Amino acid sequence: LDHEVTETVDLHGAAQGSRTLSVVGAGRAGTALAVAAAARGWTVRAVSSRDPERARALADAVGARVARVPAEATRAASLTLLTVPDAQLSRVAATIAAAGLALPGRVVAHCSAGRGPEVLGAVRQSGAACGVLHPLQALAGRQSADLLEGSTFNIAGDNGALELLRQFVGDLGGAILEVPAASRALYHAAAVLAGNAPLALLERATSLLIEAGIPHDAAHAALAALLEGAARNARKAGPRRALTGPIARNDADTVRRHLDALADDPDARDLYLRMAYETLALAGRHGHEETAAVLESAAASTGEAEMSTMVA
Ligand SMILES: NC(=O)c1ccc[n+]([C@@H]2O[C@H](COP(=O)([O-])OP(=O)(O)OC[C@H]3O[C@@H](n4cnc5c(N)ncnc54)[C@H](OP(=O)(O)O)[C@@H]3O)[C@@H](O)[C@H]2O)c1
């Protein structure tokens, strides 16, 4: 560690006080978490990132200092979040360990959904505890900080890490979800389905409106507001009660017209059909038999017989 680093961050006793945070990786998640923590009574002590300009921008926003290397950030706070890309986690942990600092009482956690605490195992050499703190939320930087209140966080880690992670989540107004280590991939797959797949559907739907002659921005604004409304209703009432549209109403003629309108776009028609089956499964087959028959006949005509067995 060079001289300049120790000047940049005054570290003597710097980790005193349990609500102190450092962030390594000043990207989308790190920025949202640091801004939210600062607003909820945590002191953000240090920010380290590969790009010093980016580290400086976040540090200035949350009243923190810049640490030139991750180990210095770690020494400065009780909790350090490594919000770097997943592929960098073990490397950053190794650099923290290689600095040879004594970090008893510190917690180092990453924010990845798919990895366990063991990816940071190297930092245990310095006396720090390892953890995972995965916010189950779409974070796009500072403007996402307020989304964290009311979000769910998956936490895991060494015994010495869990209490502080729980305190952090509680202070941010989040809920805690503990997922068995063996089910981590299932948890992440669920997050991808709920958090990412709807955006792919939004993009597909937008292209249909553009095909109908609607300008891109107007198409996007209209459909994004619809998606937001559906998500908000589903959050309150559950997806089944929140479901609207022709399948919920068993309006089989309308569903048939949609499939006809998509006849020249086989990919979009297949997607519509696949999602219509999912929607029918949500609505329940009972009372929706006419719609089920339209879907089964459409699937049979395109050789997608396997779809027709899905809701049998
Ligand atoms: N974004 C989300 O919605 C979200 C939600 C939950 C969890 N997460 C998790 O949060 C982590 C980060 O994701 P993200 O979306 O925030 O990614 P991101 O926006 O790409 O940010 C990653 C940041 O880490 C910095 N960085 C990369 N390698 C580094 C290194 N070796 N040392 C120090 N800094 C390094 C990057 O470099 P520069 O300094 O060059 O910018 C960048 O600022 C991932 O584990 C992800 O799974 C993300």
- 231-243 tens-digit pLDDT: 999 999 999 999 9
pLDDT, residue 39, reads 98
- What mean pLDDT do residues 85-112 have? 97
Joined together, the tokens standing for residue 125 give 């050499």
Name the residue of 5, 33, 51, 83 whose CB sits within 8 Å of the most ligand 1 atoms, as the mutation to test its pocket.
Answer: 83
Write down the pTM of the prediction: 0.89
Q: What is the DSSP letter of 196?
A: T
pLDDT, residue 267, reads 95
- What mean pLDDT do residues 78-96 have? 98
CA-proximal residue: ligand 1, atom 46 (nearest)? 112
Please report which confidence band the pLDDT of residue 103 belongs to, taking 50, 70 and 90 as the band edges: very high
The per-residue pLDDT of the chain, averaged, comes to 92
pLDDT, residue 70, reads 98
Query: What is the distance in angstroms between the CA of the first residue and the CA of the last residue of the chain?
Result: 65
Q: Is 39 exposed, middle or buried (0-12, 13-18, 19+ CB in 10 A)?
A: middle
Rg (CA), the chain: 24
In the reported structure, the alpha carbon of residue 300 is separated from the centroid of ligand 1 by a whole-number distance in angstroms of 46
CA-proximal residue: ligand 1, atom 6 (nearest)? 135
* Neighbour tally for 257: CB within 10 Å: 13
CA-proximal residue: ligand 1, atom 42 (nearest)? 27
The residue written with tokens 């089989």 in the block is 252
Q: What is the DSSP letter of 181?
A: G
For residue 17, pLDDT beyond 90 = no
Distance CA 246, CA 266 (A): 21
User: CA separation (Å) from 121 to 24, 92, 108, 279, 305?
Assistant: 17, 11, 10, 43, 49
For residue 2, pLDDT beyond 70 = no
In the reported structure, the alpha carbon of residue 25 is separated from the centroid of ligand 1 by a whole-number distance in angstroms of 5
**pLDDT cut 90: percent of the chain above it:** 90
For residue 199, pLDDT beyond 90 = yes
For residue 33, pLDDT beyond 50 = yes
pLDDT, residue 4, reads 37
Helix or strand run (H / E) with residue 152:
strand 152-157
Nearest partner of 169 among 111, 122, 126, 119, judged by Cα: 111
More confident residue, 143 or 16: 143
Helix or strand run (H / E) with residue 98:
helix 89-98
pLDDT, residue 167, reads 97
- What mean pLDDT do residues 165-182 have? 96
In the reported structure, the alpha carbon of residue 125 is separated from the centroid of ligand 1 by a whole-number distance in angstroms of 24
